[in-house]
Amino acid sequence: MARAITEQKFNRFHLREQLNTGGMSEIWLVTDGRGKPYALRKLKRELRFNFTARRRFLRGCEILEQLVDKDHIVGYVEHGKAEGTCYLVMDYIEAENLKVLYARQDPVLQENVAQILIDSATALSHVHEAGYMHLDFKPENILVTRNAAVRLIDFDMALPIPEKPKKLAKNPGTPGYMAPEQLRREPVDGRADIFAFGVAAYELLANQKPFSGDSPGEILAAQMNPAGPISLRQHNPDVPPALEKVVMKCLERDPDRRYPFCGVMLRDLQNALYV
């Protein structure tokens, strides 16, 4: 929840409201000396000497900086360290994440779902074109404004796309959106993001996830079910067959049967939705 505060400063910015807080950072609405608003994300004070957290935070900042001015990516302004704290300044947009909109079945989602899917896929394609895999693509990391403008956020988990699938030292991400190879701790590449996009798209269109489970093991077992997920059109007959084909291809358990590149997925998605 937003929390108004008395006048405080951080570096050259005036702190106005705390917009959100997570396990690693806080996000504030701030203004500069001219009164222009920004979103400022800063590492939590108790993590200042946690080198793993600092490295992850700064890596996310550096990747976002490489994506400056890309459509549907949150706008980068600057990052650095002030008062002993790592921080990132981004464009401020009045928006809520897709998870919140989905939970309340918000009209902005229901009326613009096709464009939201395309814009989210476009954002992910930009990340891949820059040479990175996001590794935490999920509705919670997609901001949507009241006029349905999309911004992809949170690049802390992102890593360079390897030339061939590579086993990760850590296993970043959210189990409900992880590909089977991630859950099995096998080598991965950018096709893991394509699977995550498929899960998010299926969830929005079918009003439920394709693979249910309360633990990573249960989710993996559902993914490996030979019957595969229930077809989208069984849940929602209004889904065009071409769109169902794109989403189900993203959800193939074998990465070699998924789209090889995000740009190819985006092209088919646009064709399926007549954009």
Reference 78, options 96, 54, 108, 58; nearest CA is 58
**Catalytic, out of 136, 156, 189, 268:** 136
Nearest-CA neighbor of 129 among 185, 84, 71? 71
71 is catalytic: no
State the catalytic residues. 136
